Amino acid sequence: MVFKNLHLVAPLMASGTAMFFSAASYAAVPVEGKPNILLIMVDDLGLGDLSCQYAKDIQTPNIDRLFHQGLHLNNFYASSSVSSPSRAGLLTGCFPDMVGVPGVIRTEPTASWGYLSPDAILLPEMMSKAGYQTAIVGKWHLGLESPNLPNERGFDFFHGFLGDMMDDYNTHLRRGHNYMRLNTQEIDPKGHATDLFTDWASEYVTEAGKKDQPFFLYLAYNAPHLPLQPKADWEKKVRKREPTISDTRGKLVALIEHMDDGVGKVVKTLEKNGQLENTLIIFCSDNGGDRKAEANNGPVRGDKGDMYDGGIKVACSIYWKGHLEPRKVDNLIMMSDIFPTLCDLVQVPVNHRIDGMSVLPVLRNKEQVTDDRYLFWVRREHGDLGGKTQTAVRYKEHKLLQNRPFEPLQYFNVKGDPKEANPLEKDPLYTKMYKAMIEHYRVSGAVPWQKPLTK
């Protein structure tokens, strides 16, 4: 699939004083050269768990400003309801099972349900072709060993964590393994993981700014994933402000507010360095919030791990000071669309097969149809899924899903029924979506999703 290279020119008008760091205007700003790109992904953030979303017991001023002063994507979907597949969709522009990651990649082979395809082309490889220096700070979760380490999959620089969740935000271990790395070197840094990733990202953008080429930084926080281990001072502040909050919810809110502070520090570093005006910032979560953490998933049904919208509909913003007029966007956009959109922006052609579509016209405030396509979610897992799959397919306003492999299919109009509470009767569109789902199973079945067996 090849996308046309649309040069982003922003003939956008707005007036007034911006809330974000300094005043901004949106008079016609031609884009010359290529912007730095900061792609921030957080972990298990509920759709409602920002103060600019639905939560009333949380304060996230720094992330809120990205939403208020950028594009607030109201209809944005993760590539999966869990971590590894979403990251695969983000970085390849493909449905995750099309690149060998239908489920979570873990330390134990018997609990690991994905293996990133060696044929998959990742976003940093494309950015390198466009002259970018590329880096990942934070959580990788797409492979624990060669050949699926970040430096082998297109990133020039890696400072972060190879694994899935940390068993402790301060020791950074996972089942006794130390997955912290500086490129390929094992390291043992001291401090809370959120602080480390914030500091490392700030250091990277400062050093990258000294080079005569733009940077692509993928900043992936572990927060607010379990375990709920906020720093004591952040938890104390939340409990003082919200005296009736539950113990679990209080810890989650503190973990999110600490992360929000980190996002603010990274953006302030960009401003201090004079880089902010030439940096496109994307913020999103890998999937919906975890019910065990008492996450707020807003006005939708379900949670992390579900095929209902609570598992896959997430908060997302795109901010570029002076270039993107602040507005809410209702277009149906999927995480896999970020890949072709950024390639389109930096004018590097996509000459291989992907599933996402460039939504650069949306960024340019142009009319674009983005929902006249089938979107698929397939998750494979053990436990109560028994090694089978959960599935959903979306077309325009309609969604067909099987939330558990032993449950019946359900068919909804999610625009008219956001709670997915009133299943519809079968109709001709149901049949088309069902057949599309079967065809997706057939095509994705050609892609191995386990590490090759050794003799």
pLDDT (average), residues 337-356: 97
The per-residue pLDDT for range 237-268, each reduced to its tens digit, is 999 999 999 999 999 999 999 999 999 999 99
Bridge partners, 139 (sequence order): 161
Q: What is the pLDDT of residue 27?
A: 42
Average pLDDT, the chain: 93
What tokens were used for 440?
Answer: 């997706």
Contact 50, 63 (CB under 8 A): yes
**Domain 35-372 class?**
alpha beta
| Burial bucket for residue 393 (CB in 10 Å: 0-12, 13-18, 19+) | buried
Give yes or no for residue 307 having a pLDDT over 50. Answer: yes
Q: Which two tokens stand for residue 180?
A: 């912290």
Angle at 166 between CA 179 and CA 291, to 5 degrees: 150
Q: Where are the domains of the chain?
A: 35-372, 375-444
State how far the Cα of 113 lies from the Cα of 24, in Å rounded to an integer.
Answer: 46
DSSP per position, 169-198 = TTT-EETTEE-EEETTEE----S-HHHHHH
What is the residue-wise DSSP string for 328-377? Answer: EE-S-EEGGGHHHHHHHHTT----S--S----HHHHTT------SSEEEE
Reported pTM: 0.93
What sign results for the dihedral spanned by CA atoms 168, 171, 176, 182? positive
Q: Give per-residue pLDDT as tens, 102-154.
A: 999 999 999 999 999 999 999 999 999 999 999 999 999 999 999 999 999 99
pLDDT tens digit string along 12-21?
Answer: 222 222 334 3
Distance separating alpha carbons of residues 393 and 379, to the nearest angstrom? 12
CA atoms within 13 A on the CB side of 220: 29
Distance CA 248, CA 226 (A): 11
Question: Do 35-372 and 375-444 share a fold?
Answer: no
pLDDT digit string, tens, across residues 224-236 = 999 999 999 999 9
Q: Match domain 375-444 to its CATH number in 3.40.1520, 3.30.1120, 3.10.620, 2.60.40.
A: 3.30.1120
| Gap between the Cα atoms of 249 and 91, Å rounded | 31
